[in-house]
C-alpha cells in the first residue's frame, strides 16, 4: 500500500503545479521575450498536440533550442508545468541566448504508451522541419524533462538512434538529433521502479502501460529508457532529490552507472534533502552545471 501511495503521490504532487495561468508563465521570462503559443505540431486539432516557443530578443537569425517536457505522472499537467518553480533557470536560458520550446503530449488517460513518446518525437520532428520559420537551429537541440517528462526526455534521447518504429506516429524514421539531455528525476527503469508491483488501477505506471508491470514486463522494458543505452547516445546531466519518495533515487543512480558503463558522458547531482520537485532544483550550482553542458554541446 505504501509503495502505491508513493506513485499516486507522483501524480498528486504535480497537480499542484499545473494550475498556472498563461500570464504567470509568461511573467517568468525576461521582458521582451518573443513568444509563439499553441502551435499545432501534428496536423490535427488535439489540444494535447500543441507547443509553445520562447525566443531571446538579440536579433540573431537562429538560436539553439531547449525542448521542455513537463511532468505530471503521464496523466496531468500541461506545457506550462514545472516552470513555476524553475523561474531562474528559464530566465537564464533566454538571457544566455537559448530558445525554449515547451510541448504538450497526450495523457495516459487519453491513450496508453507509446502515445506519449510518439507525441514527443512528432513535436521534435516538427521543430526540426520548421526550425527556420521560428529562428531555431535544428542542429542544436537539447531536451529537459521533469519527472514523467524526465522519463520521456530520457526515452527520446536514448532511443533516437535505435529506430524504434513504434515510437513514431507514422512509423517513419526521424531526422532530428539530440545533443544533450537534462533529466530531472525521471524514471529510467520501470522493472526496478519502487511501487511497480502494485495492482492498484490508479497506479500511474499501470495507467501508462495499460496494465500492471508484473503482467506486462515486456512492455515495461520497451518503455524503460535504460533499454536503449549504447555508446552513441548523447551526454546526460541527471538531477535527483535525495528524499524523493515518488521516483526512488536508485533510478537516477542506476541510469548514471549504465551510461558510464556504455561510455556515455554524464554527471549525476543528488540534491541533499530534496523531495520530488520544487525550488530546491532551481539553484545556482545546478544552473551552473546545466550551462556547462549546454555551452559545450550546443554552442
| CB atoms near residue 267 (< 10 Å) | 15
pLDDT in tens, 205-251: 999 999 999 999 999 999 999 999 999 999 999 999 999 999 999 99
Task: Sketch out the chain's domains with CATH numbers.
Answer: 2-270+278-297 (3.40.50.1820)
pLDDT in tens, 105-128: 999 999 999 999 999 999 999 999
What does the pLDDT read at residue 59? 85
Are the C-beta atoms of 5 and 65 separated by less than 8 Å? no
Q: Which three cell numbers stand for residue 80?
A: 506550462
Give the global pTM: 0.93
Q: Which of 162, 100, 105, 152 is nearest to 290 (CA)?
A: 100
Q: Which three cell numbers stand for residue 195?
A: 511501487
pLDDT in tens, 3-37: 444 454 544 444 444 444 455 556 789 989 999 99
Q: Which three cell numbers stand for residue 185?
A: 528525476
CA torsion, ordered 54, 112, 159, 146, to nearest 10 deg: 40
What does the pLDDT read at residue 98? 98
| CB atoms near residue 43 (< 10 Å) | 9
- What is the rounded distance in angstroms from the CA atom of residue 287 to the CA atom of residue 260? 22
Q: Is the pLDDT assigned to residue 46 strictly greater than 70? A: yes
What does the pLDDT read at residue 25? 55
Q: Which of 29, 6, 18, 50 is nearest to 185 (CA)?
A: 6
Averaged confidence pLDDT in the chain:
92
Are the C-beta atoms of 7 and 198 separated by less than 8 Å? yes
Amino acid at each position: 500500500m505504501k509503495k502505491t501511495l508513493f506513485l499516486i503521490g507522483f501524480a498528486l504532487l504535480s497537480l499542484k503545479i499545473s494550475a498556472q495561468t498563461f500570464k504567470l508563465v509568461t511573467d517568468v521570462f525576461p521582458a521582451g521575450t518573443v513568444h509563439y503559443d499553441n502551435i499545432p505540431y501534428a496536423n490535427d486539432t488535439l489540444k494535447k498536440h500543441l507547443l509553445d516557443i520562447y525566443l531571446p530578443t538579440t536579433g540573431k537569425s537562429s538560436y539553439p533550442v531547449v525542448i521542455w517536457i513537463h511532468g505530471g505522472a503521464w496523466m496531468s499537467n500541461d506545457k506550462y508545468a514545472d516552470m513555476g518553480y524553475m523561474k531562474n533557470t528559464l530566465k537564464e536560458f533566454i538571457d544566455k541566448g537559448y530558445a525554449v520550446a515547451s510541448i504538450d503530449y497526450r495523457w495516459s488517460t487519453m491513450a496508453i504508451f507509446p502515445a506519449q513518446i510518439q507525441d514527443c518525437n512528432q513535436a521534435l520532428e516538427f521543430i526540426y522541419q520548421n526550425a527556420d520559420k521560428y529562428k531555431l537551429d535544428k542542429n542544436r537541440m537539447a531536451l529537459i524533462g521533469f519527472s514523467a517528462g524526465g522519463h520521456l526526455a530520457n526515452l527520446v534521447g536514448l532511443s533516437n538512434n535505435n529506430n524504434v518504429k513504434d515510437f513514431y506516429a507514422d512509423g517513419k524514421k526521424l531526422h532530428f538529433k539530440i545533443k544533450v539531455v537534462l533529466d530531472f528525476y525521471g524514471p529510467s527503469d520501470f522493472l526496478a521502479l519502487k511501487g511497480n508491483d502494485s495492482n492498484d488501477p490508479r497506479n500511474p505506471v499501470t495507467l501508462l502501460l495499460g496494465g500492471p508491470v508484473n503482467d506486462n514486463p515486456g512492455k515495461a522494458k520497451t518503455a524503460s529508457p535504460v533499454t536503449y543505452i549504447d555508446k552513441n547516445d548523447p551526454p546526460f546531466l541527471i538531477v535527483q532529490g535525495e528524499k524523493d519518495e515518488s521516483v526512488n533515487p536508485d533510478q537516477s543512480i542506476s541510469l548514471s552507472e549504465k551510461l558510464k558503463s556504455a561510455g556515455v558522458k554524464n554527471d549525476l547531482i543528488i540534491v541533499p534533502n530534496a523531495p520530488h520537485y520544487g525550488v530546491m532544483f532551481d539553484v545556482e550550482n545546478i544552473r551552473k552545471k546545466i550551462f556547462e553542458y549546454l555551452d559545450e554541446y550546443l554552442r
